[in-house]
Amino acid sequence: MPGAIDWLLSGPPWVQYRTRLDLLGQSERSKDVQAARQAMLDHPQVQALVSELAEWPGPPLTRHNDASHLLHKLTFIADLGLRATDPGVDRIVDRVLAHQAAEGVFQVKVNIPTHFGGTGKDQFAWMLCDAPSIVYALAKLGVKDRRVKVAAKYLAGLIRDNGWPCAATPELGKFHGPGRRSDPCPYANLIALKALAQTREWHDDDVCRLGAETLLQLWQHRTEQRPYLFAMGTDFARLKAPLIWYDVLHVTEVLTQFEWLHKDKRLNEVAAIVTAKADDQGRFTPESIWQAWRDWDFGQKREPSRWLTLVAVRASNRLIEHARN
């Protein structure tokens, strides 16, 4: 797909940067890579994200698919390739690390209404639908602090025989998602795997194998199971960026990071849904959008998105490379 590569390299600096690293395999020491990275750091859109995140924790999180929340902006700058040592990011990391629960995981400011089992007040807390995303972001940003390892270990220890459940800090009282307590939470499994995939310590551990099997079982039985209302139907199959919620591209991006899954028929079925959506030039167009991200190239449904294309091609390439080897 040389034409698509040229198109990606003509895009915004964060797409150029990740294309050179993730698709072309160029070194971080390459002059072209360094130039793209510096242009990314200097870009007004990236600087705006860093400025916003300097106010962490920001407003309380009232729903986990609030695409405008700082939690998702934190994971996105990590996806772009920012580092804890970059200007302004060090301050963000310090503010995130400052809110660690006694159990070891990191907290966000939340407000869970009383009719959902919460307190109805702003408070620092954690749930399995947010805590793994913070661990993921810190690991991707290159934070070496021991507290990140402690948090990852605690997350790993929450898994059950059927994957990660809906779990939350005791301070949230009776809070529980809309499902049976015995069921695994699909979203918790997805982002917990995403977090643990970032370190070799957990990447090949049986914990990740169990969580991955849970997601693949959910795909296999998608017509009869939808725990915690996470279905795998029409909405699930729509391409959307950034990777915030439970959808086909997010699942494909996470599961293809585990080399030991690359021959799994079920994963290849999920990934095939993504690859089938490419146009004749190998480009991908968003099929659903987050309004909070409308100023980015994936915030529209009219034309192909370079960032969406990069993410889709990168995940597909992982499976292709494995087949070649």
- Predicted confidence band of residue 131 (pLDDT cuts 50, 70, 90): very high
Residue 179: per-residue pLDDT: 82
- Rounded distance between C-alpha atoms, residue 147 and residue 143, angstroms: 9
229: left (phi over 0), alpha (psi -120 to 50) or beta: left
Would you place residue 211 in the very low, low, confident or very high pLDDT band (cuts 50, 70, 90)?
very high
Residue 60 has pLDDT above 80, yes or no: yes
- More confident: 276 or 118: 276
Span 52-68, average pLDDT: 95
- Model confidence at 324: pLDDT above 70: no
CB 78 within 8 A of CB 128: no
Letter string b/e over residues 115-127, b meaning 16 or more CB atoms within 10 A of that residue's CB:
eeebbeeebbbbb
Whole-model pTM? 0.95
Contact (CB, 8 A) for 174 and 117: yes
Q: Is the pLDDT of residue 139 over 70?
A: yes
| Averaged pLDDT for residues 3-10 | 94
pLDDT computed for residue 103 by the predictor? 93
User: Mean pLDDT in the chain?
Assistant: 94
Residue 84: pLDDT over 90: yes
Task: Tell me the pLDDT tens digit for each residue of 228-243.
Answer: 899 999 999 999 999 9
Measured over the CA atoms of residue 242, residue 247, residue 248 and residue 253, the dihedral's sign is positive
Q: How confident is the model at residue 175 (pLDDT cuts 50, 70, 90)?
A: confident
Per residue in 306-322, pLDDT (tens digit) is 999 999 999 999 998 76
CA angle, 71 then 210 then 133, to 5°: 5
- What pLDDT score does 121 carry? 84
What percent of the chain stands above pLDDT 90? Answer: 86
- Higher local confidence (pLDDT), 320 or 21: 21
Residue 117 clears pLDDT 70, i.e. is over it: no
pLDDT tens digits, one per residue of 29-54: 999 999 999 999 999 999 999 999 99
What's the confidence (pLDDT) of residue 212?
Answer: 98
Which band of pLDDT confidence, cut at 50, 70 and 90, is reported for residue 196? very high
